[in-house]
Amino acid sequence: MPRSARRPPAVILAPQEVEKMRVVGRFAAWILDQVEGLVRPGVTTGEIDRLVARLTHERGGVCAPLGYPKGSRHPFPKHCCTSVNHVVCHGIPSDQHVLKEGDIVNVDVTPILDGYYGDTSRTFLVGEVDPEARRLVEDTFECMRRGIAAVRPGAHVGDIGAAIVEYAHARGHSVVTQFAGHGIGRIFHGPPTISHAGRRGQGLELRPGMTFTVEPMINMGDWRCQILADHWTAVTVDHSLSAQFEHTVTVTEDGVEVLTLGEGRTLALD
């Protein structure tokens, strides 16, 4: 069998499958809307996890993070990721972790409905947050927005990361390269890898139906991270603040559709 048959270069979905992704994507966004209503000083990340689990199960869905990846010696133990302050990603929710005024917390959810995965995250402000941290969060959202705006048929995967890294550096931040966006559909993490620090014109050419995440992690200091002894929690090496936003998107005939926006929401792409 040719190599390309065993390892397709990208998750490419048919129109009926994109419709399933719209359903789960809208649901994932709605879950984050509910989480937003819970986040305040005094709430634990364990409570956030239970809310995500309950809402997903009530709808007949499955939380992809729980037990991921299958067969691993260290499967992820909770239903979503909660990454606070200097935690870059994959923070593990805990009843012992109480959110306090001034924290920033990324909540990353991935429900599965009817076999399709919707992956999205937002960084929330806990009470009153320092202007510097707020600026990081706003700039990280703008990094994601610019990355998504670079998606269209004929563009290259590298264009996405180029748009992100240029803006992040212009704002004085650094871009995490240890984690990346990924193809998604009936699998959680598929090809292609979407680097958030790419080079224009480099990498796979985008085609309609290609479906993947754009999920830049942006640090106020050093771009490097390390994984804690729990095998999951990624933290900045210098303990500087880190923020992240994530959407699942699909390439259309003439541009991009964001699948995890939620009912009645828009993202200005020009």
Interacting residues with Co ion (CB under 5 A): 108, 119, 121, 213, 246
> Which residue's CB is nearer to ligand MF3, number 129 or number 187?
187
Q: 90 touches which of Co ion, ligand MF3, none (CB within 5 to 8 A by kind)?
A: ligand MF3
By CB atoms closer than 10 A (0-12, 13-18, 19+), residue 237 is middle
User: Minimum CB separation from ligand MF3 for residue 230, in Å?
Assistant: 11
User: Minimum CB separation from ligand MF3 for residue 152, in Å?
Assistant: 22
Interface pick for ligand MF3 out of 65, 147, 203, 216 (rule CB under 6 A): 65
Residue 15 has φ and ψ, to the nearest 5°, of -55, -40
Q: How many CB atoms lie within 10 A of CB 68?
A: 14
Question: Judged by CB under 6 A, does residue 90 bind ligand MF3?
Answer: yes
Sign of CA dihedral 152, 157, 161, 166: negative
DSSP category for residue 156 = B
* Token digits of residue 135: 């600026």
Angstrom distance (rounded) from CA 234 to CA 87: 6
User: Minimum CB separation from Co ion for residue 5, in Å?
Assistant: 26
Residue identified by tokens 């994507």 is 25
Question: Judged by CB under 6 A, does residue 91 bind ligand MF3?
Answer: no
Question: Judged by CB under 6 A, does residue 119 bind ligand MF3?
Answer: yes
Footprint of ligand MF3 on this chain (CB under 6 A)?
65, 68, 76, 81, 90, 108, 110, 119, 213, 215, 232, 246
